[in-house]
Amino acid sequence: MNSRTLNHLSFHVSKGVFLTCASCLLLCASLYGQLAPAAGTTASEDPIQSLLGNGKIKHVVIIMKENRSFDHYFGKFPNAAGATMGLTSTGQSIPLWRAPDVMFHDAGHTWEAAITANDGGKLDWFDLTAGGNQNGDFEAYTQMTPDDIPNYWTYAQTFVLADHTFQSTNSPTFSNHMYVISAGGEGTITIPSNPHGKAETWGCDATQGTVVSQMDAGGAIFNVRPCFDPQTMADTMNAKSMTWKYYAPGAVPGYGLSAFDYIRHIRYSSYWKSNVVNPNQFDTDAAKGELPEVSWVVTGTGAEHPPGSTCLGENWTVDKINAIMQGPIDQWNSTVIFLTWDDFGGFYDHIPPQPVDKFGLGFRVPMIIISPYALASHISSTTYEFSSMLKFIERAYGLPALTQRDNSASDMSDSFNFNQTPLPPLVLKQRPCPVAGTTEAHYGNVVVNKSRVLPITITNYATQGKLVFGTISATGDFAYIPGGTGGTCKPELAPGVSCTLKVQFTPSAVGPRTGTLTVNDSDQSSPQEVSLFGTGTYGDLPVLYPGMVFSRTNIGSSAKQNVKFTNTGPTALTISQIQTLGQFSQTNTCGTLLTPGSSCDITVTFTPTGTGNIRGNLVIWDSDPASPHTGRLTGVGTAVDQQPGQLFLAAPVGQTSKPKNVTVTNTSNAPLYLPSVWIGLPFAQTNDCPTQLQPGAKCTITVTFTPKKTGQVNGSLSINDADLTSPQVVTLVGTGT
């Protein structure tokens, strides 16, 4: 391979995303098929335009919320393709428990999480994703009831609920928001990250050092700045002097959903100020009947991203839809609203997504189609993705396709009847949000006479007046922990503020244990009640979340860790099976009978056959009522062994140091695609690495350092390859003398 510097890379950070090799092989079709512009036809040449209103549609509004799967929101919806039970990694089918309004934590919804949860189409590893099951809470296996999202259910019952809408890519938020404006994700597979911590902003406004991971046609992964130049729907509309606006909060710290900030030629043009505006402007434009032909609407605080309040998010959405419904009637009579969510959020869904290219489709997400011409009380089971909304716009307005994705997507015409009497506006009331963030709290398995604490969120949603706490109590084996050792709640809670109450579970016996937390306060909904669930066990497997974590291990090598399993009870435990799931194995000294008070040793071995972040489970089936006992397993597999991991070089100013070598070895039994090596000044490199490094083969990268001044300079060498831990990084330390 020729020595070269990649122009689109100016820095490297270590990545927090890992993938499975199986997923790469499964989905490794030709890259960027969806990025290559397709020769689309215009609606004026297309007889199907007659199905899309023949000019009746003058306003399309896309409202994009965050991180919920279809089964999580609408699994109970009558006659829809929903589920109320979910499969776990242990092969059990468990009920989806009632989701909190304020989730206890976020669940994994990265590319790696999507591939893990899918498990080759078996859809049974949602509990093994990051946050999918923390210490037995099985938060990935939750779903809302009609009482939890009543207005969303009312929209779905009145207009169209699309129960086969899939996120466009397995990637999380960043990539999917790009699909909504450009029918492609530029090959990105992560959200932006920064070596100094969480990326405060995304897109072209991202702080220095922020990168997003991008996969090329051969599967090699690069870190690039999250600022791109694809053709967007805005560009094709601009070419025809059509109107559009993107309603989103500005580039503020912690916020990254303003998708046109990802598009260089929009961000640095006059359109950034004239067409990318605050969401509050949407209410004004709708009330005046001044909506553009296409609107995209997103938010921050009301986005519904866990652990954020679903109720607050629903109220925000109702406010925006009411603004249209209460505006001029001729505007409503010419509008289509697409309400959808950007990715599955890590929540269980039982319909396997069908791959259409290397990146997707991803999991199902909710979509509600609201329009005077939407089929009343209809469920559409046609396959939609985010590019389908762009296809609808193209057919309705006579625009060309942007990519192969929107060119081949459904135009969504099956959800409309433009000859029907227009459905009337449906103005809904915003609802009071629950003071207690959840109706249920699940503690999982806890050893008898030991304890686990969960925080229960309490929020004062009033705009004025403090929330005053009265008595707080818990029943059964549960106890409220007051005072300084408890949560963050004080005797009074200011308007718009949240705090946490800490509730402890200490089982007194084995088996299911239940209780109730009762919070008396000054809110008119008082008392707040939370049902508490936990299971007492005598089997002590101390592999708590995040469980056993194995460091980076080469294919062809193994790593081992030990754990003790203890019978803390007064009677013997009968062990029927000990198993591991994933690329792990185990040996043990447990036998079939574990006497009271005794322990046995379990040795878990990680032997990766794939690369990236690899999940698994240690499962013990026994006679304890809490069986099976499980312990999470996580390891990082790699086919690339680069030695050493750090180089120290020194030279007088203006002179070049003695060269030092990095040896790269492919430890796998398959060729490794290795398209480039990158290094930044004042370091330089040459190498003899081929584009395809054969199994067991080695190549050498020679590094030199030419200082421009005295003192220490830090840098990095990036090896960009198709290993799912790419780019591989060697730390460089140069000293000028």
Q: What is the pLDDT of residue 465?
A: 93
Provide the terminal-to-terminal Cα distance of the chain, rounded to the nearest Å: 33
The label of the residue with tokens 């009482």 reads 147
Q: Order the strands of the 378-380 sheet from edge to edge.
A: 276-277, 244-247, 294-297, 59-65, 335-341, 367-370, 160-162, 378-380
Q: In this structure, are residues 624 and 539 in contact, taking their beta carbons and an 8 Å threshold? A: yes
Share of residues in the chain with pLDDT > 70 (%)? 91
pLDDT band, residue 55 (cuts 50/70/90): confident
Q: In this structure, are residues 639 and 666 in contact, taking their beta carbons and an 8 Å threshold? A: yes
Output DSSP code: residue 41: P
Strand partners, 245: 295
Output DSSP code: residue 675: -
Q: In this structure, are residues 674 and 721 in contact, taking their beta carbons and an 8 Å threshold? A: yes
Q: State both tokens at 242.
A: 């059509």
User: Mean pLDDT lowest for which of 11-15, 102-106, 411-415, 614-618?
Assistant: 11-15
Looking at domain 640-736, its CATH architecture is Sandwich (2.60)
Angle at 338 between CA 336 and CA 340, to 5 degrees: 170
pLDDT at 430 exceeding the cut of 70 = yes
Q: State both tokens at 112.
A: 């790696």
Average pLDDT, the chain: 91
CATH code, 440-537: 2.60.40.10
Q: In this structure, are residues 257 and 248 in contact, taking their beta carbons and an 8 Å threshold? A: yes
pLDDT tens string 74-97 = 999 999 999 999 999 999 999 999
> Which of 336, 348, 341, 342 lies closest to 87 in space, CA to CA?
348
User: Mean pLDDT lowest for which of 37-46, 258-267, 415-424?
Assistant: 37-46
pTM for this entry = 0.91
Q: Is 603 left (phi over 0), alpha (psi -120 to 50) or beta?
A: beta
pLDDT at 446 exceeding the cut of 90 = yes
What are the domain boundaries of the chain?
Answer: 31-186+228-415, 440-537, 539-638, 640-736
Residue 404 host element (H or E): helix 404-408
Please tell me if the domain spanning 31-186+228-415 has the same topology as the one spanning 640-736: no
Cα separation, 509 vs 515, whole angstroms: 14
Averaged pLDDT for residues 564-589:
97
pLDDT at 1 exceeding the cut of 60 = no
Q: What is the pLDDT of residue 194?
A: 86
pLDDT at 73 exceeding the cut of 80 = yes
Q: In this structure, are residues 345 and 109 in contact, taking their beta carbons and an 8 Å threshold? A: yes
Pick the CATH number of 31-186+228-415 from 3.40.640.10, 2.60.40.1930, 3.40.47.10, 3.40.720.10: 3.40.720.10
Cα separation, 213 vs 211, whole angstroms: 7
Cα separation, 532 vs 23, whole angstroms: 38
Fold of 539-638: Immunoglobulin-like (2.60.40)
pLDDT at 290 exceeding the cut of 90 = yes
Task: Output the 3-class SS for 412-427.
Answer: CHHHECCCCCCCCCCC
Q: What is the pLDDT of residue 16?
A: 35
pLDDT at 327 exceeding the cut of 70 = yes
pLDDT at 250 exceeding the cut of 50 = yes
Q: What is the pLDDT of residue 198?
A: 65
Cα separation, 424 vs 371, whole angstroms: 9
Query: What's the gap between Cα 87 and its chain centre?
Result: 20
pLDDT tens string 165-217 = 999 999 999 999 999 999 999 999 999 998 776 667 899 989 888 999 999 99
pLDDT tens string 332-390 = 999 999 999 999 999 999 999 999 999 999 999 999 999 999 999 999 999 999 999 99
pLDDT at 2 exceeding the cut of 80 = no
pLDDT tens string 592-606 = 999 999 999 999 999
Helix, strand, coil proportions of the chain in percent (round to 5)?
15, 35, 50
Averaged pLDDT for residues 424-447:
97
**Peptide bond connecting 422 to the previous residue in cis, omega within 30 degrees of 0:** no
Q: In this structure, are residues 653 and 702 in contact, taking their beta carbons and an 8 Å threshold? A: no
Angle at 226 between CA 239 and CA 383, to 5 degrees: 65
